[in-house]
Amino acid sequence: MVSRGELFTECRSLIAARDEDTADFDTTCIFQDLLGDKNPMFLPKEPVPDDKAAEIRSLAKRRSEGYPLQYLLGQWEFWGCNFKVGEGVLIPRPDTETLVEQVLDICRREKLKAPKIADLCSGSGCIAVALKKELPDAEVYAVELSDKALGYLKQNTAANGCGDIHIIKGDVLKRETAMSLMGLDILVSNPPYLTSQDMSELQTEVTYEPASALFGGEDGLGFYRAMTELWKMSVKEGGFIAYEFGMGQHDDVKAILEKNSFTDVEFRKDGGGIIRTAAARNIIVNKPAIM
């Protein structure tokens, strides 16, 4: 039987041939996942049973070919919570924590203790769950269209003790979906925002993620234009829209918000110093339509 130490060196060098920077981390995660120990290298001479060694080698090989680590592990952390992930759902990114922080700061500032919040294009549910964890009295809705993503969304809300998040299967670009959710204090979304150019230059890892969660039309702004226009009636007067977007899209997103009765646009930078989110206040009074 191969020892943990020998196997680690073998798998690490396989992954390092592709990416030296992540090799230690990736190999450690794979070992932790398969051996169940927090520090699997504590006992480097410990033999690894043949079937486990074969599984570990197979994961290391897939990782060395560019398959995302998060999908290999089947789970990933966001906001201190664990989210099940796999093909068909976008992997939660640390950048998105900036969006959660901005929404929480708005709730603190505006003294919103039990806000009505809708998370559009919810995917794994990472935003909805993080907000519900921090604001237990909030009425949170998570809207998602893809059946595969909905499977993860349901699992993740339940497993994180957020079973009372209202999950809605719906197309955020359809009027009927927007009409079904009125009187929102906050609409939050990390919609697809990559451009055609971005889609043609994806990192191998990202090609395994659903294009429907990545591609935002030719200039990447399609969802911001359509969603803001369609959903502005769902946000109450004085309520907010908070969006995540890609590098360099902030001025365009601001212009879209301002064209649609939103004002006081505030930007936030992510951990890498990139302007990543915007929040703005609705100034129109949304009255129920007179029939």
Binding mask 59-98 for ligand GLN (x = CB under 6 A): ----------------------------------x-----
In whole angstroms, what is the distance from residue 5 CA to residue 77 CA? 27
- Rounded to a whole number of angstroms, the minimum distance from the CB of residue 111 to ligand GLN is 30
Interface with ligand GLN, residue 124, by CB under 6 A: no
The footprint of ligand GLN on this chain (CB under 6 A) covers a number of residues equal to 8
In whole angstroms, what is the distance from residue 288 CA to residue 237 CA? 12
Interface with ligand GLN, residue 243, by CB under 6 A: no
In whole angstroms, what is the distance from residue 261 CA to residue 285 CA? 10
Residue from 214, 256, 257, 275 that binds ligand GLN (CB under 6 A)?
Answer: 214
- Rounded to a whole number of angstroms, the minimum distance from the CB of residue 112 to ligand GLN is 25
Q: Counting every residue, how long is the chain?
A: 291
Least Cα distance to 69 among 32, 123, 116 occurs for 32
Residue from 8, 31, 152, 193 that binds ligand GLN (CB under 6 A)?
Answer: 193
Phi and psi angles of residue 222, each rounded to the nearest 5 degrees, phi first = -55, -45
Interface with ligand GLN, residue 172, by CB under 6 A: no
- Rounded to a whole number of angstroms, the minimum distance from the CB of residue 254 to ligand GLN is 18
Q: How many CB atoms lie within 10 A of CB 107?
A: 21
Choose the stretch contacting ligand GLN; rule: CB under 6 A; options: 74-82, 136-144, 160-168, 187-195. 187-195
Residue from 16, 41, 206, 274 that binds ligand GLN (CB under 6 A)?
Answer: 206
The residue sitting closest to ligand GLN, measured at its beta carbon, is: 193
Q: Where are the beta strands (DSSP E) in 3-131?
A: 75-78, 81-84, 116-120
Q: For ligand GLN, which is the closer residue by CB, 160 or 190?
A: 190
For 151, left (φ over 0), alpha (ψ -120 to 50), or beta? alpha
Interface with ligand GLN, residue 194, by CB under 6 A: yes
In whole angstroms, what is the distance from residue 57 CA to residue 27 CA? 10
Interface with ligand GLN, residue 277, by CB under 6 A: no
- Rounded to a whole number of angstroms, the minimum distance from the CB of residue 222 to ligand GLN is 11
Q: What angle do CA 280, 286, 290 make, to 5 degrees?
A: 160
Q: For ligand GLN, which is the closer residue by CB, 5 or 210?
A: 210
Choose the stretch contacting ligand GLN; rule: CB under 6 A; options: 38-46, 111-119, 129-137, 184-192. 184-192
Run of H or E residues at 28: helix 20-35
- Rounded to a whole number of angstroms, the minimum distance from the CB of residue 65 to ligand GLN is 19
Q: Interface residues for ligand GLN in 139-158 (CB under 6 A)?
A: none
Q: Where are the beta strands (DSSP E) in the chain?
A: 75-78, 81-84, 116-120, 139-144, 166-169, 184-189, 235-244, 262-269, 275-282
Label the pairing between strands 262-269 and 275-282: antiparallel
Residues that bind ligand GLN (CB under 6 A): 93, 190-194, 206, 214
